[in-house]
Amino acid sequence: MFEVGVVLRFLFVLFIVVPLAEMTLLFEVADRIGGAWTLLMVVGTAVVGVQILKRQGFSTLLRAKQKLQSGKVPAQEMVEGMLLASAGALMLTPGFITDTVGFLFLASPLRRALADKIVTIGFFTTLGMRESNAFDTRARSEGGRASDIIIDGEYVPGSVHPSDSALVDDKRDAR
């Protein structure tokens, strides 16, 4: 699914470049406003972020519950939940860059747009899930749409075949 080179570049940026950039920015801010104020800002953004995360997470959970009750897979809400979890991790990581990205994930319009994009590129359809009527139990016709004709029965190997004369005679007698 992913090329090894792409994954390695991503991991390099994630574990080497981002921490170096965070430390550089933290030292620069501490030089300008002082270490105590910088520490207060880092802790303050974490506290504010966690409070926003609680509210947004509860709202997303309620929307997911409503979709499940209506028989639909809450793909959008699941992706938003993953983005909110990422936002929480970013908010608790000390630094201004991760806090900024975390706050962007907490912003409802941006998070919903990003989640919508992830859902529409087919991430969940490749897992066999779709946004609409995923729990529909009606039979599917050739075109993939729900059909009104449902045939219920059991197949037992070695059972009577419909072309057997006894079965055909029973059908004629029933008329």
In the chain, where are the structural domains located? 4-132
pTM of the full predicted structure?
0.62
Q: Residue 100 in contact with residue 26, Cβ under 8 Å?
A: no
Handedness of CA 163, 164, 168, 171 (dihedral sign): negative
**Residues 21-56: pLDDT tens digits?**
999 999 999 999 999 999 999 999 989 988 888 888
Query: E-strand spans in the chain?
Result: none
pLDDT of 170 over the 80 cut: no
pLDDT in tens, 8-24: 888 888 889 999 999 99
37-46, 80-89, 159-168, range with the lowest pLDDT: 159-168
Question: 114 Cβ partners below 8 Å, 6+ apart?
Answer: 79, 83, 105
